Amino acid sequence: MARIEPFQGLRPRPDLADKVAAPPYDVLSSEEARELVRDNPYSFLHVGKPEIDLPAGTDLYADEVYAKGRENFTRFIREGVLRRDEQRCFYIYKQVWGEHVQVGLVAGASCQDYQDDAIKKHELTREDKELDRQRHIETLNAQTGPVFLTYRQQDAVDRLIAQGMKKEPANDFATYDGVRHILYVVNDAAWVAAIREEFRSLDALYVADGHHRSAAATRIKVKRQEANPGHSGDEEYNFFLAVIFPDRQMKILPYNRLVRDLNGMCKAEFFARLSERFTYEEAETKVPEKPGEIGLYIAGKWYLLRARPATFNAGDAIASLDVSILQDNLLDPVLGIRNPRTDKRIDFVGGIRGTAELERQVDGGRFAVAFSLRPTTIGQLFAVADAGRIMPPKSTWFEPKLKDGLVSHLLE
């Protein structure tokens, strides 16, 4: 059973929505964010990445960063840039990116479900990042970055979502990245009751993106519950801001790898070592097409690697992932990268940047070799999460990204 709740969303003034909507805090560097907002005082990056309004080089975890975020957030509310809905609502968030369309329900998802594993995870979280999001939420007393959840598609939910989109949208605009964003506000009592009931019939929700946000929200829920003798379970702090999409609409791109050096080997030695676990051939194809295949770029040429039989367990949900095959058979034993979470010799490139970015980094001399991968499937994500296991780091890249600032959830 999945519990979802409507809430009084804090939303931008309609004529400013396209200026307020901003990328998530964790997909841009501070320098990229500063450049993006240079001529836009309304960007929600002033709230999500408030270091952009402080001197360059400011510690991202300094008290003044969180205080600046609160100052900017409060100013947006005071000046009417952001306004709170008078009624509890659900929201429908539709994104159109080329031929891809995805439609999600914006709702308060249950922190208790997260604790009970009715909201399932597939990534490890880092405590420092959890604490960063916790401080941000507590300083603003609001959740401003939505968690991206998914579920196994249900026809009854689809019908209700379609019904909710029959009215005029509150927002409809395109952003610089070519994505169209359409937001509907739905507060009809019968519809609200019906969608809540349909979600109660779901076995589970799954975190697609936003593990640190959901973990941070749950930390706050536990903290406030312990401090509240009259805790009922219905307080706003019991829920976190989420956009919930059916699995059939998920678009996952690959998460590619770059490695700075060949671990002391020359190119010939490197290929001799990797040939123990893979066959290889020069290839024009830059993106592999079949399970167990990996693209490799080195010294201006692309190669296609194929994992040799018996080098991985095809029946294991983790070991059969292409990212695991690469890690277990090449990155670790050949290149000496035992912990990709902490090793500074490896970097990761989301598939949205394409193989051209891999070529640019290697050709520019910053990295010695690049690996392109097939995207992990939503079925593989479900299998890992259902088994209560954790995917290797940087296994999934979901696109298009949800914009921050379109709807925020106040915890008062």
Secondary structure of 228-258 as H, E, C letters = CCCCCCCCHHHEEEEEEEEHHHCCEECEEEE
Q: In angstroms, what CA-CA distances link 281 with 128, 209, 304?
A: 42, 35, 6
Whether the bond between 254 and the residue before it is cis, its omega within 30 degrees of 0, is: no
3-state secondary structure of 314: coil
- For every one of its 412 residues, what pLDDT tens digit does the chain have, with 9 covering 90 and above? 899 999 999 999 999 999 999 999 988 899 999 999 999 999 999 999 999 999 999 999 999 999 999 999 999 999 999 999 999 999 999 999 999 999 999 999 999 999 999 999 998 888 999 999 999 999 999 999 999 999 999 999 999 999 999 999 999 999 988 999 999 999 999 999 999 999 999 999 999 999 999 999 999 999 999 999 999 999 999 999 999 999 999 999 999 999 999 999 999 999 999 999 999 999 988 999 999 999 999 999 999 999 998 999 999 999 999 999 999 999 999 999 999 988 999 999 987 888 999 999 999 999 999 999 999 999 999 999 999 999 988 899 999 999 999 999 999 8
- What structural domains does the chain harbor? 4-251+399-410 (no CATH), 255-374 (3.30.1760)
The Cα–Cα gap between 223 and 357 comes to 43
3-state secondary structure of 149: strand
DSSP assignment of 332-361 equals TTTT----TTT-TTEEEEEGGGHHHHHHHH
The Cα–Cα gap between 95 and 87 comes to 24
Report residue 318 CA to chain centroid gap: 20
